[in-house]
Structure 1
Amino acid sequence: MSELEDLRKEIEEIDENIIKLLSKRFQISQQIGKIKKEKGIPITDENRESKVKEKWITLARKYGIPESFVESFLTMIFSYSKLYQINPKSKRRIVIIGYGGMARSLSSLFKISGQEVVITGRDLKKAEALSSEFNFVTMSVDSALKWGEIIISTLPPSAYFSDFMDETYKKMKAKIFMDITSSKAKIFKELEDKSIKYNFMYLSIHPLFGPYLYPVGEKVVLIPSKTSASIVRDIYEFFMDNGLVPLISSLEEHEKAMSVVQVLPHFYLLALSSSIQELSKELGIDFKKFETTNFREVYKIINRINEIKNVILEIQEHNPYADKAREFGVRELNNLYTQLMGKKNDALHS
């Protein structure tokens, strides 16, 4: 056997040991998940993750391993460890209305937690396509509403004023209904009024994550309405059992927070996206050949924003504090521009 083959054989043995150790780590994570469940502790513990990360980085430096590799690898370990910790108290009958990215994201979460899920909507072929991906069931809207206990709509804001939803509200007596829209100001009162009129429980939610698979450990905001006071604690525990970190908020607090964490950064990123394209054309330069590490990460975010641009623009349109957020954004850009131009002029005259 050649020296190269000997080394490859040694790597294969190391790889097997890595897999064995990962398996043992995940088994321990599963045991930790059971203890957390018994004590009512959320799956995500940011302080613990920070300490583990510090330890890993220290070890990486000790053994000459790039910190960037360790950070990326550890992020995956955290995510998959949380998957093993999901251990819900009970199964619930969940109906998801819609079949887009967020419907898929929530479906993936409920799949790993073993929930009973039906996917429905106006286009049953699309609903069936999503159902088959996770081995769920598709029913007509009427049948799904009769069967389900928790109804989660992943439809866009405009849909809640449609004839389709008007008919749906009438069939949700005694059900728990949730929307997942990012901006609530336009629809919250509408849905609250419908819940009073048709005797269902409306609890608005906002998953604080994008349309990606297995969002374990991410946050979800719960915004109670007049008809959901009796179920808030139950739904809080439901989401916690299914691997999310629930936050309870008022409508006003939520909308103010979203103006800061969504409206303002999205405003900058949309402008940055077009500025990059226009400036590179003006200068006749292929900027991608010269990407820095930071630019590459920023550009990834820009691309994700552009993929859901319609949703981003809806948030810009409907958030009641959007005008103020953009006003502050433009003001601070002008302040920075003035500051930099002032330094440039000072340098020219010195």
Structure 2
Amino acid sequence: MKELDQLRAEIDRVDEELFKLFFKRLELVSEIGHLKKKEGLPVTDERRESEVRERWRSLARAYGIPETLADNLLSTMFSVAKMREVNPSEKRKITLVGYGGMARSLASLFKLAKHEVVITGRSQEKSQKLAIDFNFTYMPMPQALQWGEIVILALPPEGVFSENVTRFLHLSKDRVVMDILSSKTRFFGKLEEMSRQMGFRFVSTHPLFGPYLNPVGEKIVLIPSETTGDLEEISEFWRGVGLTPLITDVDTHEKLMAVVQVLPHFFILGLSSSLDLLSRELNVDFSQFQTTNFREIYKIVRRVKELEPVILEIQRMNPYAEQARRLGLRELNTLFSTLQEEKK
């Protein structure tokens, strides 16, 4: 046992050295974050991340360490490093309307950036719970919309245009008001008209990530309106919480979402149903026989199924959705026909 104790003590010493090195790495990351901010660079540098990941894999092979361990460690390091780079130029007063998954995700970003945040919504109980979770403050809707410099409507369409919200939006006069709706065509014009009538500055946004905590390094689409005013100020706000802003117009946004959301989600929902049906027809349980690729695909399938109501909403509302689905089905039929011909 003495030898075992000695080896464990040596492991403890190595662990401490590892944490010293991790700390040193994060200190360097913080310095890089300050330089990036000074030069107006985004938190995420995809080219650099690819280079570092390949280097770690190479080092793993050289030292006989599984590449999957290197990948998992590095993914965690990237996530923590990006959080260390969050460094807003000024603290803002933010009113977050809503308490669902995306409201929670945004709240986690604002917590990292140390902004002042008030949570409000139709349900006082749910609003207060989210506020308590992040040590923020709850206010009733009228007071909250007057309090914040920036108002974010983290709500679905029926919430954004409910009487609970619209009857108080005039209290946000001179504030910046943003929605986070995934589909814009039906709603952008309505909100722009409301901003003209009520005097608030409207910019539409679309976070290009799902409802998970601390999405530092992700991207957010900004669609300016006639009342937006200084768009750079709003871009800087989002850069300050660790997101990369992308600026476009409504129609281009809808076309892009037809490519990156409508078409893949259509196939994934179909794949989900097909996997269940085929496994029943063949009377097999695939849970223990998953290949590496299938395991990764199935993670995405499950994630998409969890968000099915939102995904179906996009399928119904995107003006290019039918075109995307028709094209996708055409290509699947072409592939099916090609494979059938090869059998002959």
Fold shared, TM-score > 0.5 on shorter chain: yes
* 2:330 corresponding residue in structure 1: 331
CA distance in 1, matches of 2:165, 2:135: 26
SS in 1 for 2:70: helix
CA distance in 2, matches of 1:248, 1:67: 37
CA distance in 2, matches of 1:18, 1:56: 15
Kindly indicate whether the alpha-carbon contact (under 8 Å) linking 2:96 and 2:152 is maintained by their aligned counterparts in 1: yes
Q: Give the 5 Å matches for 1:177-326.
A: 177-228=177-228, 230-326=229-325
Deviations 1:24-54 (A, max 9, x none): 1111111111122222222111121122112
* 1:43 corresponding residue in structure 2: 43
The letter for the 1-side match of 2:271 is L
Kindly indicate whether the alpha-carbon contact (under 8 Å) linking 2:145 and 2:169 is maintained by their aligned counterparts in 1: no
SS in 2 for 1:95: strand
Deviation of 1:279 (Å): 0.7
Give RMSD over aligned pairs: 1.0
The letter for the 2-side match of 1:322 is A
Deviation of 1:159 (Å): 2.2
Unmatched tracts of structure 2, length 5 or more: none
* 2:72 corresponding residue in structure 1: 72
Identity %: 52
TM-score normalised by length of structure 2: 0.98
CA distance in 2, matches of 1:267, 1:16: 49
Moved over 3 A (4+): none
Kindly indicate whether the alpha-carbon contact (under 8 Å) linking 2:170 and 2:200 is maintained by their aligned counterparts in 1: no
SS in 1 for 2:211: coil
Deviations 1:163-196 (A, max 9, x none): 2222032222111100001111111111011111
CA distance in 2, matches of 1:75, 1:45: 14
Deviations 1:48-87 (A, max 9, x none): 1122112111111111111122112111111111111111
SS in 1 for 2:204: strand
The letter for the 2-side match of 1:193 is E
TM-score normalised by length of structure 1: 0.96
The letter for the 2-side match of 1:164 is N
CA distance in 2, matches of 1:83, 1:158: 33
CA distance in 1, matches of 2:239, 2:134: 21
* 2:136 corresponding residue in structure 1: 136
Deviations 1:285-311 (A, max 9, x none): 111121111111111111111111100
Unmatched tracts of structure 1, length 5 or more: 346-350
Kindly indicate whether the alpha-carbon contact (under 8 Å) linking 1:153 and 1:179 is maintained by their aligned counterparts in 2: yes
CA distance in 1, matches of 2:330, 2:6: 64
SS in 2 for 1:257: helix
Kindly indicate whether the alpha-carbon contact (under 8 Å) linking 1:264 and 1:329 is maintained by their aligned counterparts in 2: yes
Aligned residues: 344
The letter for the 2-side match of 1:152 is I
